[in-house]
A and B are shown apart, each in its own frame.
Chain A
Amino acid sequence: MTSASTGLVLPGLLDTETIRKDFPVLDRLVHDDRKLVYLDNAATSQKPRQVLDAVNAYYERHNANVHRGVHVLAEEATALYEGARDKVAAFINAPSRDEVIFTKNASESLNLVANMLGWADEPYRVDRDTEIVITEMEHHSNIVPWQLLSQRTGAKLKWFGLTDDGRLDLSDIEQVITEKTKIVSFVLVSNILGTVNPVEAIVRRAQDVGALVLIDASQAAPHMVLDVQALGADFVAFTGHKMLGPTGIGVLWGRQELLEDLPPFLGGGEMIETVSMHSSTYAPAPHKFEAGTPPIAQAVGLGAAVDYLTAIGMENIAAHEHAITEYAVRRLLEVPTLQIVGPATGEDRGAAISFTLGDIHPHDVGQVLDEQGIAVRVGHHCARPVCLRYGIPATTRASFYLYSTPAEVDALVEGLEQVRNFFG
């Protein structure tokens, strides 16, 4: 309670009092009279009024199918949908708007790349003589598509292991990424450990051997400046609902030459040029990869989310989260028996912090916190290999965002004290 009332000020913090007014759900009471403390942002973010309004306005005034009508609404809907693509392209500094493919989420984006490569011709083709490289800290969405591809093609699946302090072990990079490697796919910021990975070292080695690079930026796009040109990767995937946007919209960015060369995955309306009963030709990217009616309202909502984030500034959001994360790491380490799973500093880490609390099972931690209105995630966070690596069944994870406050960190720490008293 103390610092909630004293209003602790840390350097770099945003004006959360103003920001929080844009998020209706943050005012909610839960369990009758508890103030909601929402610390499950790595699972999904809350949505500001501006995004909700954009989605509503789309349905109330402009709803039509895109790219296929000559009437007013069809033209407006198309302009809004394509306008969202422009906004996303600018947000990630894409050289061309045609490099931005809308999908339904990051999982679909990652699966799309795996399938493009499975069906591709040389020199991209993944087959039995080639290798795929991932890491032990991937989300299941960046493991399973590669396991499937490996099983179907006979390609060998390899991965980077982890160090004891929750970072990638790149000491054997030359054995892991070799001349046989076709694709290296890794997470920029881990959703379970919070680790920010060293992109440059991996991209350089991949380029040396002529392998493509796919970066899972699901936990990066919401929280930091994402510049696809600076990253130097070939593909970047992320998901709208973690960055203030609606569910049902994701993004795959890919280099234009690759998108021209690689084959489509899903076939249908929208992705064709001409169709006869014998064969078809395909529309140029990005449409080649967007079969069927796309998530139009969701794209419009994501465009509004990008506007919102840009107005605040991604540097400012990153600075805010860095301050909150450093404070949270420091406060959490004061809790007896608490152990952080992942980097135990604020350096090169994102705002998701996993931990264990003595022998108390994360389910019990989460439940007692919930009774106090504090929402955290418990379990293996779709990254079970990480739990296996550290010999733990599960973790509790608190994750912060642009509206999180030091008072919420204090509430978490107090909540954990209650958990300890309860099960101690």
Chain B
Amino acid sequence: MYQDVILDHYKHPHGRGLRDGQAEVHHVNPTCGDEITLRVRMDGTVIGDVSYKSQGCSISQASASVLNDLLVGKDVGEAQKIQETFLELMQSKGQIEPDDAMEEVLEDAVAFAGVSKYPARVKCALLSWMAWKDATAQALSGAAGK
């Protein structure tokens, strides 16, 4: 479960810290107390920045770092597709062996495939992704409202 990629991201997280954004959310995992505050900045339809402050286990920390790598700079439609693919992998209970196509989409995030076998830890891996989805929806609806 603890792939080197995960440990690297845990020890040297990317994009950590809170910076400007149009929407901010705070998500918690009540079973283990992991927490994240996450902000999204949209530049038009492009994810300009995902910044975050979080506390929790290596899986939740590394997952937020990978998310930042993968989604910043992507068009929102593409980012949503990546999020959905990651969700599918994490909900697979260890049944999906990531193929080349999936690896193309998820890059480092395929390292989390092993985590999907541990029901107690899937929520850790998804915490930042659910927070991102929520914040992005808020940023987009805020922009549409203006």
Q: Judging by beta carbons under 8 Å apart, are A363 and B59 in contact?
A: yes
Q: Mark A403-424, 1 if CB is under 8 A from B, else 0.
A: 0000000000000000000110
B35: A residues at CB distance < 8 A: 393
Q: Judging by beta carbons under 8 Å apart, are B121 and A363 in contact?
A: yes
Q: Judging by beta carbons under 8 Å apart, are B55 and A423 in contact?
A: no
Q: Mark A350-367, 1 if CB is under 8 A from B, else 0.
A: 000000000001111001
Closest to A380 in B: B33
Check A379 for interface membership: any CB of B closer than 8 A.
yes
Q: Judging by beta carbons under 8 Å apart, are A367 and B33 in contact?
A: no
A393: B residues at CB distance < 8 A: 32-35, 55-56
With A363-B124, A367-B121: A394-B33 Cβ-Cβ less than 8 Å: yes
A423: B residues at CB distance < 8 A: 7, 10, 58
Q: Mark B39-77, 1 if CB is under 8 A from A, else 0.
A: 000000000000000011111000000000000000000
A380: B residues at CB distance < 8 A: 33
Q: Mark B9-39, 1 if CB is under 8 A from A, else 0.
A: 0100000000000000000000111110000
Chain A nearest CB from B144 CB (Å) reads 37
Interface size for A (C-beta < 8 A) is 14
Q: Judging by beta carbons under 8 Å apart, are A394 and B58 in contact?
A: no
Tell me the bound Cα distance from A380 to B31 in angstroms.
9
Q: Judging by beta carbons under 8 Å apart, are A363 and B32 in contact?
A: yes
Check A120 for interface membership: any CB of B closer than 8 A.
no
Q: Judging by beta carbons under 8 Å apart, are B31 and A361 in contact?
A: no
With A379-B33, A393-B33: A361-B57 Cβ-Cβ less than 8 Å: yes
Q: Judging by beta carbons under 8 Å apart, are B56 and A361 in contact?
A: yes
Tell me the bound Cα distance from A116 to B37 in angstroms.
44
B2, B31, B118, B124: the one contacting A379 at CB < 8 Å is B31
Q: Judging by beta carbons under 8 Å apart, are A387 and B33 in contact?
A: yes
Q: Judging by beta carbons under 8 Å apart, are B57 and A363 in contact?
A: yes
B124: A residues at CB distance < 8 A: 363
Tell me the bound Cα distance from A423 to B10 in angstroms.
9
Check B1 for interface membership: any CB of A closer than 8 A.
yes
Tell me the bound Cα distance from A363 to B10 in angstroms.
14
Of A367, A368, A422, most buried by chain B (CB within 10 Å of CB) is A367
A364: B residues at CB distance < 8 A: 57-59
Which residues 318-345 in A have Cβ within 8 Å of B in the complex?
none
With A363-B124, A380-B33: A422-B55 Cβ-Cβ less than 8 Å: no
Closest to A378 in B: B32
Tell me the bound Cα distance from A363 to B121 in angstroms.
9
Chain B nearest CB from A115 CB (Å) reads 27
Tell me the bound Cα distance from A394 to B124 in angstroms.
14
Chain B nearest CB from A13 CB (Å) reads 34
Closest to B31 in A: A379
Closest to A422 in B: B2
B2: A residues at CB distance < 8 A: 367-368, 422
Tell me the bound Cα distance from A53 to B138 in angstroms.
59
Tell me the bound Cα distance from A423 to B58 in angstroms.
9
B10: A residues at CB distance < 8 A: 423
Of B10, B32, B118, most buried by chain A (CB within 10 Å of CB) is B32
Which residues 371-390 in A have Cβ within 8 Å of B in the complex?
378-380, 387
B32, B59, B118, B121: the one contacting A394 at CB < 8 Å is B32
Tell me the bound Cα distance from A382 to B56 in angstroms.
18
Closest to B115 in A: A367
A367: B residues at CB distance < 8 A: 1-2, 118, 121
Chain B nearest CB from A231 CB (Å) reads 34
Tell me the bound Cα distance from A422 to B8 in angstroms.
11
Chain A nearest CB from B94 CB (Å) reads 14
Enumerate the 3 nearest inter-chain pairs by beta-carbon distance, A residue then B residue, closest first: A363-B57, A361-B57, A393-B33
A-B contacts, 8 of them at CB < 8 A, read: A363-B56, A363-B124, A364-B59, A367-B1, A368-B2, A379-B32, A393-B32, A423-B7
Q: Told that A379-B32, A393-B33, A423-B10 touch, could you supply 13 new A-B pairs with CB distance under 8 A?
A: A361-B57, A362-B57, A363-B34, A363-B56, A363-B58, A364-B59, A367-B1, A380-B33, A393-B35, A393-B55, A394-B32, A422-B2, A422-B7
Chain A residues with a Cβ under 8 A of chain B: 361-364, 367-368, 378-380, 387, 393-394, 422-423
